[in-house]
Amino acid sequence: MVKIKICGLKRLEDIEMVNRYKPDYIGFVFANTKRKVSHELASELKANLDSDIISVGVFVDAPKEEILRLFNDGTIEIAQLHGSESEDYIIDLKESTNNELKIINAIEMSEDTDLLVYDSSNADYLLLDSGKGSGKTFDWRLIRKDLKKDFFLAGGLNSENITGAIEQFNPYAVDLSSSLEVDGFKNEDKIKEIMEIINE
């Protein structure tokens, strides 16, 4: 069964919604976007999150100390990296946590992307996306069928295309954010719909 991540939670109401519908992962965005949350707010939201749901922190070239602080205080369990973070950066994060911190390496997909180079990455997962929270799909023909790492599929997924994406590529997980919103806020009806589609 494909796993689901709902990204960009920023209100207690969002936490209450996901607690009802039980996605596998949720994301707190710490990068400078409209969904950015403070460390304090993320900690409060995490304290109210169902313990079965795994929290992911989304970063773009953040200081390692920031990620480690959020991991060590229990706010996040996984770091999702969207910048130009190097393999040494990933290794340092993992060694600093005795390999307890899991890493998702986000890749902006284009004609120039060579996914083969990520086969040997120290990241635990890849995330294939069209850009940093663009909400648009990329050319799915760029996805290699022989990827060695489990991957999250992101970018423009919604209730209309998600079944086809799962059937075609069998991702480890799907990652949604803007398609589950109305007027910039997570919407319960949209979350309920997508969870029913995936779990049917």
CA atoms within 13 A on the CB side of 173: 21
The active-site residue out of 61, 129, 146, 150 is 129
Name the DSSP class of 126. E
129 is catalytic: yes
- Which helix (H) or strand (E) segment is 6 a member of? strand 3-7
Task: Determine the number of helices (DSSP H) and then strands (DSSP E) in the chain.
Answer: 6, 10
7 is catalytic: yes
The helix-helix angle for 39-47 and 12-21 (nearest 10°) equals 40
Of the listed 7, 73, 150, 175, which one is catalytic?
Answer: 7
Q: Which residues are catalytic?
A: 7, 129
